[in-house]
Amino acid sequence: MKENTVLISIIIPCYNDWQYVEQAVYSVLNQTYLDKEIIVVDDGSNTKTKEVLKRLEPKITKLITQENQGQSTARNVGIKASKGKFILVLDSDDFFESTFCEKAIVSFEKDSTVKIVTSFVNRLLLNGKKDVFKPTGGTIQHFLKYNGATGSAMFRKSDWENAGGYDEKMKTGFEDWEFYIRLVKQGGYAFVIQEPLFNYRIKDNSTTTKANKNKITLLQYIYLKHQDLYKSNFETFVNHLLSMLEREEFEKNKNTKRIEFKLGNVILSPYRYFKSLICR
């Protein structure tokens, strides 16, 4: 391993993830990139989680404890306390493969217009299986339509400062997407490493699951907050909305046909049975 010269600050907000946070911490401790600091923000966790964090404290750079204020605030608090040129945020129930930081820094060094670095994702599903999700990355035109990066990603601290940090009013999800819109709206793009270097747990009570249940309200907040951007990209935005409606209509029709088919089988099965008796 070669010595690295640019400091990366890895911020891990934690709320009641006692069974996962140790794996998250070790995934950044074991990064092949050497020049890093690790800041864990305990966002009002329960006693069991605090015991795990106390055990991990000697292995990390800094443990910050606060009353529960939400993920956006916890991330901002950790970043404010950091010293690195680059920031990597990591949710405490997820983890990175060991080469992510090293490859992310190379991506920034190759292209100064890169604002965010993410990667393909191993999604750990509820049934114990996994699949690979591939974020699109892209420019502001992409991010106005959807989040092209994962919530756990790397960016420059200076860009975080210029963007104004995470929106602390957003406590129910999509805060990373809204933040990324502000990161790339003045130019630049999100780069995606074409390898599954990030591991994301899908849980019943995950932030993403909760956000999807509150999706309409969150979309409204983002659209209205950035209405100047959506107005200046009106045609792209309208085409996207129509495409979403078309997909939803297609899925609805597909599901309806599936239900009708199943009902048809139930209704017709007695008739087919009696017909089979008669035709013997």
Q: What confidence score (pLDDT) does residue 255 get?
A: 72
The burial of 23, by beta-carbon neighbours within 10 Å (0-12 exposed, 13-18 middle, 19 or more buried), is given as middle
Give pLDDT, residue 206: 58
Nearest-angstrom CA–CA distance, 131 and 123: 5
Cα–Cα dist 37/4, whole Å: 13
Q: Would you say 22 and 94 are in contact if contact means Cβ atoms under 8 Å apart?
A: no
Digit-coded pLDDT (tens) for 17-74: 999 999 999 999 999 999 999 999 999 999 999 999 999 999 999 999 999 999 999 9
Single-letter residue type at 196: P
Confidence of residue 236 (pLDDT cuts 50, 70, 90): confident
Is the domain spanning 8-232 CATH 3.90.550.10? The answer is: yes
d(CA 50, CA 204) in angstroms, rounded, equals: 23
- Alpha helices (H) in the chain, listed in sequence order: 21-29, 47-56, 71-80, 100-110, 140-143, 157-163, 175-184, 207-213, 215-225, 227-232, 234-278
Phi-psi region of 173 (alpha: psi -120 to 50; beta: other; left: phi over 0): left
CA atoms of 188 and 26, how far apart (whole Å): 32
Residue 1's pLDDT band (cuts 50, 70, 90):
very low
As a whole number of angstroms, the distance between CA 148 and CA 139 comes to 9
The structure's pTM equals 0.86
Q: Mean pLDDT across the chain, nearest whole number?
A: 90
Domain ranges across the chain: 8-232
Q: How many alpha carbons fall within 13 Å on the CB side of residue 200?
A: 24
